[in-house]
Amino acid sequence: MKTEGLSTRAGRYITQPAGYKAFVPSPLPPDPHITWDDELQNLLSRADIALGRLDGIATILPNPDLFVATYVRKEAVLSSQIEGTRATLIDILDYETTGEMVKDVDEVVNYVRAMNNGLERLRSLPLSLRLMREIHEELLKGVRGEHRTPSEFRTTQNWVGPPGSTISNAMFVPPPPHEMMAALGELEKFIHEQDNLPVLIKNALIHAQFETIHPFLDGNGRIGRLLITFILVHDHILERPLLYLSYYFKRNRGEYYERLNNIRNKGDWEGWLKFFLKGVYEVSREAVETSKEIVGLQERDRSRLANSPNGLKLMDHLFMNPLVTIKEIRRVTGVSNATAGRLAKQMIELGVLSEMTGYARNQKFLYKDYFSILREGVDDN
């Protein structure tokens, strides 16, 4: 689409001294205001109800923190895969169990740390530009992109496009640095503004605006997706971080980018909001069903091990990390090496664990049914 002189309710393209055109967003909320047609109203209502059910599902989980911890890992893998990493869920579980590092796992580990640190910091720090910078530093620490000014907003022009693209043929060019800082200031003001906008609508606007501003040299997509969860927890819509839209964005990647571009090129905020709310609805429903599956699985397998105190103790650990070694079984249960081996064999015979390596030594055991529930959509790069 030609952008010469293009101006929409979302902002305008401005020709820079070097000849390229960069998009400078208008402050939020959109002007003219959001058009509330029946479809948008219905989608918001459905998303709110589904999100409320998701928040309530924690009350039926025997240990919701275990579920959340594993879901954070899944989100970390999915969000990182969108950015081109090849690490899978089994890779990060293997790293946490054995310390074996394969390519890109460190980026996923950083994402988990950034998520957890951000949620912790929200207890004492407002959702702010300062928090974004802190989380960005965690995200890029010691990994690809670590030399691209972690924790610092960019001072040079960047652009969005496929590998090898230049600023002249980029898919999108965000605002230049001096315009970027002004846009960030307006975004922070909007985040804290007391208004009548529903939280989900405001969240969708903030995510899209952040991606348009693109304030870092690397990691903007991941930070933008983290912000969605941070806002829901910060505004007490969710008591625990249970909603992650990376799976939806990955599954609908083409439409995701098209909707963002339609905001900039056509001022189509409504199309983006409808897409976002559909994602909240779908992902919330899927997470509720996943929770129910996990509860059913936990009840089934705990009954299989009702006469094994060590087996029950190990089961609790498996819901935190479904991959274990004999060494890990020993650590969790406090039994000897031989007893740990017998426990693993018993759980294999009961159909709870499966041995992954095929080796006689250095074996790894996977809680296969639980992992099967968790891995949906993660490993299909």
Residue in the block written with tokens 């903007």: 220
Report how far residue 99's alpha carbon sits from residue 92's, in angstroms, rounded to the nearest whole number.
Answer: 9
H/E stretch holding 355 reads strand 353-355
Question: Is the pLDDT confidence value at 125 over 80?
Answer: yes
CA atoms within 13 A on the CB side of 83: 22
User: Which CA distances in Å does 302 have to 295, 306, 331, 347?
Assistant: 11, 6, 20, 11
Query: Using one digit for the tens of pLDDT, what is the confidence trace for 314-356?
Result: 998 998 889 999 999 999 999 999 999 999 999 999 999 999 9
**The predicted structure's pLDDT at residue 146:** 59
Structure tokens, 321: 């990390």
Which comes out higher in pLDDT, residue 26 or 374? 26
Q: Phi/psi zone of residue 112: left (φ > 0), alpha (ψ -120 to 50 degrees), beta?
A: alpha
Q: How much is the average pLDDT of 204-209?
A: 98
Structure tokens, 117: 């640190």
Q: How many CB atoms lie within 10 A of CB 337?
A: 11
Q: What is the mean pLDDT of the chain?
A: 90
Domains of the chain by start residue, with CATH? 7-289 (1.10.3290.10), 305-374 (1.10.10.10)
H/E stretch holding 364 reads strand 364-367
**The predicted structure's pLDDT at residue 1:** 46
Residue in the block written with tokens 């979302």: 10
Is the CB of residue 212 less than 8 Å from the CB of residue 264?
A: yes
Query: Using one digit for the tens of pLDDT, what is the confidence trace for 151-180?
Result: 899 999 999 988 888 998 999 999 999 999
Q: How much is the average pLDDT of 259-275?
A: 97
Q: How many CB atoms lie within 10 A of CB 83?
A: 17
First to last CA, the chain: 30
Written in H, E and C, the secondary structure of 233-282 is HHCCCCCCCCCCCHHHHHHCHHHHHHHHHHHHHHCCHHHHHHHHHHHHHH
Nearest to 31 by CA among 2, 58, 9: 9
DSSP line for 72-133? HHHHHHHHHHHTT----HHHHHHHHHH----TTHHHHHHHHHHHHHHHHHTTTS-SSHHHHH
**The predicted structure's pLDDT at residue 75:** 85
Q: How much is the average pLDDT of 204-229?
A: 95
DSSP state of 209: H
Report how far residue 274's alpha carbon sits from residue 296's, in angstroms, rounded to the nearest whole number.
Answer: 33
Report how far residue 78's alpha carbon sits from residue 85's, in angstroms, rounded to the nearest whole number.
Answer: 9
Nearest to 74 by CA among 202, 278, 229, 189: 229
Classify residue 349 by burial, with Cβ atoms within 10 Å: 0-12, 13-18, 19+: exposed
Question: Is the pLDDT confidence value at 380 over 60?
Answer: no
Report how far residue 375's alpha carbon sits from residue 90's, in angstroms, rounded to the nearest whole number.
Answer: 8
**The predicted structure's pLDDT at residue 160:** 93
Name the pLDDT band for 304 (thresholds 50, 70, 90).
Answer: very high
